[in-house]
Chains A and B, each alone.
Chain A
Amino acid sequence: MEHSPTPVTPNERWLAIFAGERPDRIPTDYWATDEVTSRLCRELGCRNVEELYTKLHIDGLVTIDPPRTDAHSPGDSTADLWGLRRKLVNYGEGAYDEFDNHPLAHMTAVEELDAYPWPSADDHDYDLFRDMIAHAPGHRMIRSGNFEPFLLYCALRGLEQAMMDLAAEPEFAGAALEHMFRYYFELAERTFEAGEGRIGVTYIAEDLGGQSALLMSLPQIRKFFLPNQKKMADLARSHGIHVFYHTDGAVRSVIPDLLDITGIELLNPIQWRCPGMEREALVRDFGDRLIFHGAMDNQQTLPFGTPDDVKKEVLENREIFSGARWVCAPCHNLQPVTTTENIVTMYETIHAHGAL
């Protein structure tokens, strides 16, 4: 392939891969905890994330969403827009947010859900959003919109109760998910209109897989998740916006539905050590329809492997995905346990060997 005389921007690289074309090189993306980003910036002498992306040749997305005019719940000024409070949990090298309350936990009737102070799409500042979009770096792809209602339902209801509801309280779970969908759909409509063609990609997700199998059954996934995901994806597509789809774990058996019902074009994070997620088979079965995003193992190789192991995995992925489209990225957020050397090795290796 002839290289273009002008430098290709990250945005162009993303657009090319979404269009089914071969960009100049394998695109890269970045997911990490705040602690890791701060550490990398400090150790690599970068003043901000943009400098870090430039230094490590990362085609990172810029996430911009319409800010809330009131960041709190209409029913609880100490909680977020959903009524959730968070607490910081320390694990030594860092800390992460955990939910401190489950406001729907005590409910038993759909009528109680109807009376809950759900957030409204009116409570966002779309003028400010337009302004933020206008000032976003033109060489980067903008990501707006985030639809992952069951994750939220688990927080609102408590994880185990939320899971049990899929089998034992389907009407209640369905009604709650519908309330969330109505908010998200209107928010996305107004966001995409305000984005005026500058938004490149939207995020749709639901963690459907565990370490060795689906977390819930295919009929449950089809009933509770896929129809609304399709509506969100169709809305994005009608605005010329691509769909970034995330689901952790062993999800091989749901991929055909994600392609045919939701209509995904990119799947993240490809945890290839999970049964059924073997990369060669995914490329063979879905490589013509799917962009594979991630595939840099973040449970063993990146945190506990040597730089040589990381380099080997980058090159192995390049080989396996050579007949398909791949975006090189860690499987989920890089954690503080992963060394800077391993992270730099990943990005330097793909930069040195990623030409297409």
Chain B
Amino acid sequence: MPTIQTLYDAILNGNAKAAKEITQTSLAAGANPQALVDDTMIPAMNEVGRRYEANEYFVPELLIAARAMKASLELIRPLLSARGAEPVGRVVIGTVQGDLHDIGKNLVGAMLEGAGFEVIDLGVDVSPEKFINAAREKKATLVALSALLTTTMHSMKAVMEKLKESGMRGNVKVMIGGAPVTQKYADEIGADGYSSNANAAVALARKLLAA
């Protein structure tokens, strides 16, 4: 492996140890934490996403890049909070009720985090009520639902219905994804968007929140 000299390269190469060390050194030298995110981390994760969509990177590379990004972000996040910096958006994400499969959800969460979103990850087997309560408490503007199974994807419809019942539907956008999920299904249940992969999910989230 080549010597990693920049945070950008550390993330791109998935070297968490180097990402952490370079972040520590940069912050100690007085680097602006917001600038590290905006000028290095987000462009690095954008490039990771581009390589993934271009079939140059695959799931292993995506995961180790996300791990490196998170190692750096762990150091930066407390500094951003202390400055009162606002994220690009707040996303509540989870795998729907009855479904324990989370790699797709985790990849989307990591890519969103790498794009400057605050990600509230509710984990797996998440009930509709839990999604709604978390969105309300955290003042999220986006809810992201994942399912792998044809037998569990109908839980997405239940989340949409509960959102309407709770009067929250106007406050949040909903995006969905997962192996059996399609744009047609998103239209059917009234979700705002569907994405077929983690990189496209970032573009979708940006688009939904800009609308």
A residues touching B (Cβ–Cβ < 8 Å)? 89-94, 98, 159-160, 163-168, 210-217, 220, 298-300, 303-304, 335-338
Check B151 against A91 for contact (C-beta < 8 Å): yes
Residues of A within 8 A of B182 (CB): 300
Q: In the complex, which of the residues A89, A211, A216, A338 has the most CB atoms of chain B within 10 Å of its own CB atom?
A: A211
Instruction: Show 29 residue pairs from A and B whose CB-CB distance is below 8 angstroms, ordered by the A residue.
Output: A89-B98, A89-B125, A91-B97, A91-B99, A91-B149, A92-B98, A92-B151, A94-B151, A98-B100, A159-B103, A160-B63, A160-B103, A163-B59, A164-B67, A167-B61, A168-B60, A168-B64, A210-B59, A210-B179, A211-B179, A212-B197, A215-B59, A216-B58, A217-B58, A217-B60, A299-B150, A299-B179, A335-B151, A336-B151
Closest to A99 in B: B100
In the assembled complex, which residues on chain A have CB atoms less than 8 Å from the CB atom of B179? Answer: 210-211, 299
A153 to chain B, nearest CB (A): 13
Query: Once the chains are docked, how many angstroms separate the CA of A166 from the CA of B63?
Result: 11
A165 to B197, CA, bound (A): 22
Chain B, 35-88, CB within 8 A of any chain A CB: 55, 58-61, 63-64, 67
A275 to chain B, nearest CB (A): 9
Q: Which residue of A lies closest to B52 (CB)?
A: A213
Does residue B34 face the partner (Cβ distance < 8 Å to A)?
no
- Interchain CB contact (< 8 A) of A215 among B58, B67, B98, B196: B58
Chain A residue contacts of B14, Cβ below 8 A: 164, 167-168
**Which residue on B lies nearest to A159, using beta carbons?**
B103
Distance (Å) between the CB of B113 and the closest chain A CB? 15
Instruction: Give B23 Cβ to nearest chain A Cβ, in Å.
Output: 19
Check A91 against B152 for contact (C-beta < 8 Å): yes
Chain A residue nearest to B182 (CB atoms) is A300
- In Å, the complex CA distance between A210 and B59 comes to 9
What chain A residues lie within 8 Å of B100 (beta carbons)?
89, 98
A93 to B152, CA, bound (A): 10
Residues of A with C-beta under 8 A to B103: 159-160, 163
B190 on the A face (CB < 8 A) = no
Residues in A with CB closer than 8 Å to B146 are none
Check A216/B151 contact, CB under 8 A, given A211-B179, A299-B180: no
| Residues B55 and A214 in contact, CB atoms below 8 Å apart | yes
Q: When chains A and B are docked, how far (Å) is the Cα of A159 from the Cα of B180?
A: 20
Additional A-B contacts beyond A210-B59, A211-B196 (4; CB < 8 A): A91-B98, A91-B152, A160-B103, A212-B197
Is the beta-carbon distance between A213 and B58 smaller than 8 angstroms?
yes
How far is it, in angstroms, between the C-alpha of A211 and the C-alpha of B197 when the chains are bound? 9
- In the complex, the chain A residue whose C-beta lies closest to that of B54 is A213
B193 to nearest A CB, angstroms? 17
Contacts of B99 in A (CB 8 A): 91
Residues of B with C-beta under 8 A to A92: 98, 151
